[in-house]
Amino acid sequence: MSGSTFNYSGTTAGFFVSTTGFYDISAYAGMGGVARGAGAGEGYGGIGSGHAAAGGYAGGGQYPGPAAEAGDKAGAGEVPNVYEGAVCYLRGTRILTPTGTVRVEDLHQGDLVLTRFNDMQPVRWIGRQSFHSCFVITDRSLIPVRIHAGALGADLPARDLYVSPGHAVLIKNTLVLAASLVNGLTITQDWVPEVVEYFQIDLGMHDCVIAEGAWCETFADGPGQREMFQNHAEFAALYPHHRSPAAVTLCAPRPLHGEKLAAAVAPVAARAASRVTPGRLRGACERVETDWRLTGWAQDETYPDLPVLLEVLAEDQVIGTVLACEFREDLRAAGLAEGRCAFTFNAAERLRPEQIASLRIRRAADGAELWMMESGAHAPVSAAGLQLAA
């Protein structure tokens, strides 16, 4: 993590809703105080330091898709369709409007909603998708993610929030896919209703609205994006002259992997981890590359979906921390946390030979040590999830 240190413990005050001080919805007549959060100046210790800064992009304005920067984001000006199945809110999700909360399925063209970057905006269209559970149960890209009340901070969300895995939540000016937040404790993906009905809000621009008290994204237009909705012909009839932009434009950066993703996920994982006692640690540091980069994987056997915060030591001194939350296909195939338990640690400077010889990695919570492989090659991972020697 470029030598940066995550503070995995302590308060999560300042997570959001606001990035400019306390955000009190009661300032809007008739709304009530349903979404409040401490703002700037109450972040998380080490998070935001070095290259692992969360929300390193200024709020407001349009972010033209993830640019290629240090492997954190893909394709300048283009946003890959990570989840092509659904990018929506589950039926029943309450969205904040000037007159109070309205269930997403009850919103109509012209209704006003409060947005993060553009004040009040009218709904242009509501996209819909519906799937029977027998189809959804075998496709994790369609199974709803449940963000439990308080999972993101005090009263954030205010009530359980259900979104599709490919739907993004705004975390300190960083959009994070719900699938990347699953930890098995406070954010889960283990329930499927008989009929899964998803709804998405089209405002004519990408922004965020308050859903169950938390900022969550709206529809982002781009090539083929609208065709995922089963009622896309309805939009074509309403707006026959509409042409989708050549590339998706987002209201904030949306890292799919790398340091910025880990920085955004870390306080959420810390909040969940504070509720449990760590289980047995398994995994390995598999490779030391070019004297400064370490790669491997780590998993808590008792809480397999909970990202593990690791400390990296050289000559018995902590030189940084890294969160094991990266996706790797071989780990997914082995049944390990849907593949999201890998890590890459980048030291702040090239390590000396004596430092490399003394490298150790341990879990920050209890000091449990991770296995350090002697070989420079990745060892295979068994289907049972155990590291095997080459």
Residue 24: band (very low, low, confident or very high) from pLDDT cuts 50, 70, 90: very low
- Could you read off the pLDDT of 263-274 as tens digits, one per residue? 999 999 999 999
C-beta of residue 66 within 8 angstroms of C-beta of residue 256: yes
Q: State the Cα–Cα distance between residues 7 and 50, nearest whole angstrom.
A: 13
Residue 28: band (very low, low, confident or very high) from pLDDT cuts 50, 70, 90: very low
The pLDDT value recorded for residue 167 is: 96
> Which residue matches tokens 């559970």?
133
Residue 108 in 3-state DSSP? coil
* Tokens encoding 304: 């397999």
DSSP secondary structure, 120-145, as one string? EEE--EEEEEEEEHHHHTT-TTTSPE
The average pLDDT across 156-168 equals: 97
Report the candidate in 368, 313, 322 with the shortest Cα–Cα distance to residue 343.
322
* pLDDT higher than 60, residue 136: yes
Residue 80: band (very low, low, confident or very high) from pLDDT cuts 50, 70, 90: very low
* Tokens encoding 58: 């200024």
The average pLDDT across 16-36 equals: 32
- Could you read off the pLDDT of 164-211 as tens digits, one per residue? 999 999 998 999 999 999 999 999 999 999 999 999 999 999 999 999
What does DSSP assign to residue 104? Answer: G
The pLDDT value recorded for residue 138 is: 86
Cα angle 138, 144, 146 (rounded to 5 degrees) comes to 135
pTM for the structure as a whole: 0.77
- Could you read off the pLDDT of 288-304 as tens digits, one per residue? 887 789 999 999 999 99
Q: What is the mean pLDDT of the chain?
A: 79
Residue 66 in 3-state DSSP? coil
Q: State the Cα–Cα distance between residues 10 and 267, nearest whole angstrom.
A: 9
* pLDDT higher than 90, residue 241: yes
296 to 38, 215, 353: CA distances (angstroms): 35, 33, 20
Burial class (CB in 10 A: 0-12, 13-18, 19+), 255: buried
Q: State the Cα–Cα distance between residues 236 and 241, nearest whole angstrom.
A: 8
Stretch (H or E) spanning 294: strand 293-300
* pLDDT higher than 60, residue 17: no
The pLDDT value recorded for residue 229 is: 94
Contacts of 114 (CB under 8 A, 6+ apart): 25, 28, 96, 97, 98, 120, 209, 210
Residue 137: band (very low, low, confident or very high) from pLDDT cuts 50, 70, 90: confident
- Could you read off the pLDDT of 304-346 as tens digits, one per residue? 999 999 999 999 999 999 999 999 999 999 989 899 999 999 9
Task: Look at 73-82, 114-123, 176-185, 254-263 and tell me which has the smallest mean pLDDT.
Answer: 73-82
Query: Is there a cis peptide before residue 157, judged by omega within 30 degrees of 0?
Result: yes
* pLDDT higher than 90, residue 94: yes
Stretch (H or E) spanning 259: helix 259-273
Residue 374: band (very low, low, confident or very high) from pLDDT cuts 50, 70, 90: low
* Tokens encoding 70: 């240090």
What does DSSP assign to residue 249? Answer: -
Report the candidate in 153, 346, 371, 176 with the shortest Cα–Cα distance to residue 262.
176
